[in-house]
Amino acid sequence: MPELPEVEHLRRSLEPVLLGRTIIKATLHRRDIAVMPADPQGGFSRSSSDARPARLTRRDLLLDATIDRLQRKGKQLAILATDGRAVCVHLGMTGGLIHLPLSSRNRRRDHVHATWRLDDGSRLLFRDPRRFGGLWIFPTRMCLDERWEKLGPDALHVTTRALSAALQSRSAPIKATLLDQRVLAGVGNIYADESLFRARIRPGRPSHSLSAGEIRRLASSIRAILRQAIRAGGSSIRDYRDAQGRQGLQQRRHAVYGRGGKPCALCANPLLVEVIAQRTTVSCAHCQA
């Protein structure tokens, strides 16, 4: 699943071609991928408890809207209009936003669930083969903000103080805590493993057992790893591409993720593979205490 660096790089790659553009046509090709949240505090779901049984209109999909901002919180990306309307994109495992200039043809027409045509003739496509992602429709920015209030601090800017406050009462393994989006927004399996390795912290350690120095080191490692990944365009493990279809390069720099059983880059001992929070976790038993 794309994590914070992939979504942030996608946001940056879309800004030059979307900001200030007006949407002149909006088409939802598959209606069940878009919901209007009934409860701003709920999690993403297409169930009746989370989605109003309202009939979506093209206006809900930003028809005639001028795009004002692209805003990210954690792994979520919102397209904001000047009049306050918003569509929040959750990429899920295989979702992506693709920008096609006027002269370009879409070579992958399957699994395109939404299309926006802009006033310069270009198109923005939401494509998601496995349909674990989707679109949230918000009539105002306040509704979007209420939704995002349930997320933890954005991992790209997490401070030692905020991370310390989140960890002090939690007994779950630190890897599991980092994956909890209510604690820290944006970190998933890849960057949790990479950040813990950089901070030299064993992923199975109880969260509340970390010392002040370790928490400071972990917060710094999270920020550094995410910044590095953004500069590299993110990690393209399977499906991830940016808005122009380009792969990221951060996967070439992974120290532990996906390298279970291979030599540690620091000590050459075989990297350990275990399951934490139902996720495959790779670490070095010698370098991470």
Catalytic residues, by residue number, are 2-3, 75, 279
For residue 10, give Cα distances in angstroms to 105, 123, 230: 20, 16, 9
Of the candidates 114, 149, 146, 117, the one whose C-alpha atom is nearest the C-alpha of residue 133 is: 114
Virtual CA dihedral for 66, 72, 78, 83, nearest 10 degrees? -40
Q: Measured between alpha carbons, how far is 175 from 188 in angstroms, rounded to an integer?
A: 9
Query: For residue 21, which of 92, 99, 131 has the smallest C-alpha distance?
Result: 99
